[in-house]
């Protein structure tokens, strides 16, 4: 939801930053790779060691660059196919690092909270599937717009609940994980329904070249 409605106000802050980074000779891909490496280091280095507030604040600052690289590409006249692929891949890596580190923290230091560990693992899987459903549908020509829990909501809820838990707010992390788990599973189902209701959802797709060769070989064998 926020990815649809929140970009225009944020651009007022993001664009000057993007222009400054470009003036320093940085490229969008450099910002993408660097911010992802920093996010992974912050998640893996701080969350399992109990520094939840520090991790949330640092990662919150880092993920703000998610719009910077895209703005930099636009200011340069447009992005590239590789840049778009790198950006999407790095988003998945950063998300995986955040929730993987939370799961690791539960596994190492809170063995009595197996339910929360399970919720975190479900979020980890559902967040990847949410993105994959959209990417696969759009590769088939089906436009998927919006969703109940997209990446911005996932990061805001996850980082805020993690940070507040680091400041001693009781039950806030558990509440955040429950919201994200239920919301993420709902979003996967929501996007599948959107795809299923598309006018072209029932159209056939061409088989990959290898599959066509296999089918031809099978027919030859049957004819002997």
Is 71 a known ligand-binding residue?
Answer: no
Catalytic annotation on 91? yes
Is 110 a known ligand-binding residue?
Answer: no
Per-residue tokens: 168: 């001693």
Which residue in 122, 139, 142, 141 sits closest to 187, CA to CA? 122
Which residue in 159, 190, 191 sits closest to 177, CA to CA? 159
Q: Measure the CA dihedral 122/189/148/88, to 10°.
A: 70
Which residue in 177, 178, 149, 148 sits closest to 162, CA to CA? 177
Average pLDDT, the chain: 88
Burial of residue 130, with CB atoms counted within 10 A of its CB: 0-12 exposed, 13-18 middle, 19 or more buried: buried
Residue 114 backbone class (left: φ over 0; alpha: ψ -120 to 50; beta: rest)? alpha
User: Domain coordinates of the chain in residue numbers?
Assistant: 2-199
pTM: 0.84
Question: What per-residue confidence (pLDDT) applies to 13?
Answer: 77
pLDDT-based confidence at 139, cuts 50/70/90?
confident
Q: Which residue has the higher pLDDT, 86 or 6?
A: 86
pLDDT-based confidence at 33, cuts 50/70/90?
very high
Which residue in 105, 114, 180 sits closest to 150, CA to CA? 180
Residues 133-153, mean pLDDT to the nearest whole number: 89
* Residue partners of 135: CB distance under 8 A and separation at least 6: 88
Considering the four listed CATH numbers 1.20.120.1760, 3.30.1340.10, 2.60.200.20, 2.60.40.10, the one that applies to the domain covering 2-199 is 1.20.120.1760
Question: What per-residue confidence (pLDDT) applies to 222?
Answer: 59
Is 191 a known ligand-binding residue?
Answer: no
Tell me: pLDDT of 66 over 80: no
Tell me: pLDDT of 72 over 60: yes
Q: One of 67, 91, 100, 161 is an active-site residue; which one?
A: 91
């Amino acid at each position: 939801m926020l990815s649809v409605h929140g970009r225009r106000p944020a651009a007022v802050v993001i664009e000057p930053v993007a222009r400054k980074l470009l003036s320093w000779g940085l490229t969008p891909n450099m910002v993408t790779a660097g911010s992802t490496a920093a996010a992974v280091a912050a998640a893996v280095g701080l969350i399992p060691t109990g520094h939840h507030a520090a991790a949330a604040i640092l990662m919150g600052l880092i993920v703000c660059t998610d719009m910077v690289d895209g703005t930099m590409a636009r200011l340069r006249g447009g992005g590239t196919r590789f840049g778009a692929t790198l950006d999407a891949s790095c988003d998945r890596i950063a998300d995986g690092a955040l929730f993987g580190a939370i799961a690791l923290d539960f596994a190492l230091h809170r063995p009595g909270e197996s339910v929360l560990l399970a919720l975190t693992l479900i979020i980890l899987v559902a967040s990847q599937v949410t993105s994959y459903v959209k990417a696969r549908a759009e590769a088939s020509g089906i436009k998927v717009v919006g969703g109940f829990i997209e990446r911005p909501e996932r990061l805001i809820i996850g980082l805020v609940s993690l940070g507040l838990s680091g400041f001693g707010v009781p039950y806030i992390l558990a509440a955040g994980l429950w919201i994200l788990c239920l919301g993420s599973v709902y979003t996967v189902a929501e996007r599948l329904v959107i795809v299923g209701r598309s006018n072209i959802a029932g159209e056939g797709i061409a088989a990959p070249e290898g599959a066509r060769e296999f089918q031809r070989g099978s027919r030859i064998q049957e004819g002997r």
